[in-house]
Amino acid sequence: MLAMKLYSLASKSLFKHILKRRFYGALIKQLRKIERRNNMKIILDAGHGYNTPGKRTPDNIREWTLNNKVANYIEEYLRGYNVEIIRTDDKSGNIDVSLAERRNKTNSIFPNLFISIHHNALTGNWGNHSGIEVYSHTLGTLEDVKFANLVSKKMSEKIGLPNRGSKKAQYYVLGCKPGITAILCEGGFMDSTIDYKIITTEDGQRKYAQAVAYGVIEYLGLIKNENSQPQANEQKELYKVKITTPVLRIRKDPNINSNITGKVFKNQVYTIVAEENGWGKLKSGAGWIYLSYTTRNINSSINPIKNNKFNVKVKKKRAMVRCQPNSKANLAGSRELHFGDVFIATDIVKGENVNGNNLWYKSAKGNYVWSGGLNRI
């Protein structure tokens, strides 16, 4: 009889203990969920490294270069939102961080989202295949699939390439801890004559990034911080240009002998952030293009030069100010600029081609100075 009573008391005590553990366990789990929502984190992963074998376009543009640009743009578009962004790749591209290291870092941080940025390839030879894909893990959750569907739809609509669907695969980096929503994006084919013209341009890369960023904002319900300020290292946008030649090479430096870093194509529009000797620096960081083969896109200009004055500094021994954009035109009041002098311009126009450069700076008074050896400040 005593044994029965003791057993009954023990059972009740054990039952209470189990209930207590379950209650507090559920409470702690819920509090952790709330904490994750209030301290949201995203892992961005630019796939591969600069020297990863085989990962490049048929004309040798590295996949990592494309992946990194898109990842950087995603960071830019999410700047100021209530989320912390962490990268698992080496942003210099010098090291191809191992898949195990990427996944281990992700699991240790335990972010809300893991997004790996890639570009596709079929055979490595040019073809007319085309489209975007977004993957979740074969053993992933419904949330993985939900997010992949959302992003694949936005990518197709934004970039303008066919949606090859939200797919599943056992990619190692997607094998994160349960609770981490993980996807891998393929933003077009590097060996496609169709996709190449989009994915190698700043416009195409930004559209890819916007699609992913907007998907993140919608999925997580992110809120823009009203007090967010522009970053100190943000480049000032000067204007946009439209390419007028079928193919224009991008150079690492503003020099015809500089290394080629990519190509742009006719009718595509790019943002210029700096000028030097008739060359324009692309906002994407891809390099410099020769502005003689472009026209100013006034309608989309962020800072239309026709309505603004800007300073140009002489970086050579002397520069002549003329009445027309021609080296044989009359001098404007016998005016001559010397090293360090500043010319106040309102526009850039095409004139006489001098040493392969036909761009001239124009003042409000209608005077002209050849752009060679002058830098905008």
Q: Are 362 and 348 in contact (CB under 8 A)?
A: yes
Question: HSE-up of 284 (CA within 13 Å, CB side)?
Answer: 31
d(CA 139, CA 162): 26
- Which pLDDT value is given to residue 325? 86
DSSP-assigned states of every residue in 200-235? TSHHHHHHHHHHHHHHHHHHHT--B-TT----TTPP
- Which pLDDT value is given to residue 227? 57
- Which pLDDT value is given to residue 275? 78
Asked if residue 44 and residue 169 are part of one domain, the reply reads: yes
Question: HSE-up of 99 (CA within 13 Å, CB side)?
Answer: 9
Q: Is residue 227 part of a domain?
A: no
Residues with Cβ within 8 Å of 186's Cβ and at least 6 positions away in sequence, in order, are 118, 119, 120, 132, 133, 134, 135
- Which pLDDT value is given to residue 160? 92
Boundary of a domain, candidates 272, 303, 334: 303
Asked if residue 172 and residue 122 are part of one domain, the reply reads: yes
Asked if residue 146 and residue 44 are part of one domain, the reply reads: yes
Of 62-66, 143-147, 251-255, 297-301, least confident by mean pLDDT is: 297-301
pLDDT > 50? residue 164: yes
The band of 333, judged by pLDDT with boundaries at 50, 70 and 90, is low
Amino acid sitting at position 282: L
The closest of 130, 131, 135 to 166, measured between CA atoms, is 135
- Which pLDDT value is given to residue 334? 57
| pTM for the structure as a whole | 0.57
The band of 170, judged by pLDDT with boundaries at 50, 70 and 90, is very high
Residues with Cβ within 8 Å of 181's Cβ and at least 6 positions away in sequence, in order, are 112, 113, 114, 141, 143, 144, 147, 219
Percent of the chain with pLDDT over 70: 81
Asked if residue 324 and residue 287 are part of one domain, the reply reads: no
Higher pLDDT, 349 or 155: 155
Q: Are 362 and 305 in contact (CB under 8 A)?
A: no
- Other Cβ atoms less than 10 A from the Cβ of 360: the count is 26
Residues with Cβ within 8 Å of 160's Cβ and at least 6 positions away in sequence, in order, are 198, 207
Asked if residue 154 and residue 182 are part of one domain, the reply reads: yes
The closest of 272, 102, 265, 263 to 172, measured between CA atoms, is 102
Q: Is residue 351 part of a domain?
A: yes
Asked if residue 295 and residue 318 are part of one domain, the reply reads: no
Q: Is residue 274 part of a domain?
A: yes
The pLDDT of 178-185, averaged and rounded, is: 95
Asked if residue 316 and residue 284 are part of one domain, the reply reads: no
Q: Is residue 26 part of a domain?
A: no
Amino acid sitting at position 151: V
Q: Is residue 75 part of a domain?
A: yes
Asked if residue 116 and residue 248 are part of one domain, the reply reads: no
The pLDDT of 92-115, averaged and rounded, is: 93
Q: Is residue 5 part of a domain?
A: no
pLDDT > 80? residue 303: no
- Other Cβ atoms less than 10 A from the Cβ of 72: the count is 18
Asked if residue 364 and residue 322 are part of one domain, the reply reads: yes
- Which pLDDT value is given to residue 172? 94
pLDDT > 90? residue 316: no
Boundary of a domain, candidates 220, 249, 280: 220
- Three-state SS at 246: coil
The band of 139, judged by pLDDT with boundaries at 50, 70 and 90, is very high
Q: Are 297 and 242 in contact (CB under 8 A)?
A: yes
The pLDDT of 130-156, averaged and rounded, is: 95
The band of 374, judged by pLDDT with boundaries at 50, 70 and 90, is confident
pLDDT > 80? residue 201: yes
Asked if residue 263 and residue 360 are part of one domain, the reply reads: no
The pLDDT of 170-193, averaged and rounded, is: 94
Asked if residue 196 and residue 342 are part of one domain, the reply reads: no
Of 8-12, 321-325, 362-366, least confident by mean pLDDT is: 8-12
What's the total number of domains in the chain?
A: 3
The pLDDT of 285-300, averaged and rounded, is: 74
pLDDT digit string, tens, across residues 219-245: 999 887 765 554 434 455 667 888 888
pLDDT > 90? residue 109: yes
Asked if residue 141 and residue 177 are part of one domain, the reply reads: yes
DSSP-assigned beta bridge partners for residue 184? 116, 135
Of 170-184, 223-237, 296-310, least confident by mean pLDDT is: 296-310
- CATH code, 136: 3.40.630.40
pLDDT > 70? residue 273: yes
Amino acid sitting at position 344: I
d(CA 118, CA 195): 13
Most confident range (mean pLDDT) of 145-149, 263-267, 306-310, 339-343 is: 145-149
Higher pLDDT, 19 or 138: 138
Where b means 16+ CB within 10 Å and e means fewer, 236-248 reads: eebbbbbbeeeeb
d(CA 360, CA 29): 66
Boundary of a domain, candidates 273, 288, 303: 303
Domain boundaries, position 257: 234-303
Q: Is residue 27 part of a domain?
A: no
Rounded to 5°, angle at Cα 351 from 348 and 354: 110
DSSP-assigned beta bridge partners for residue 289? 280
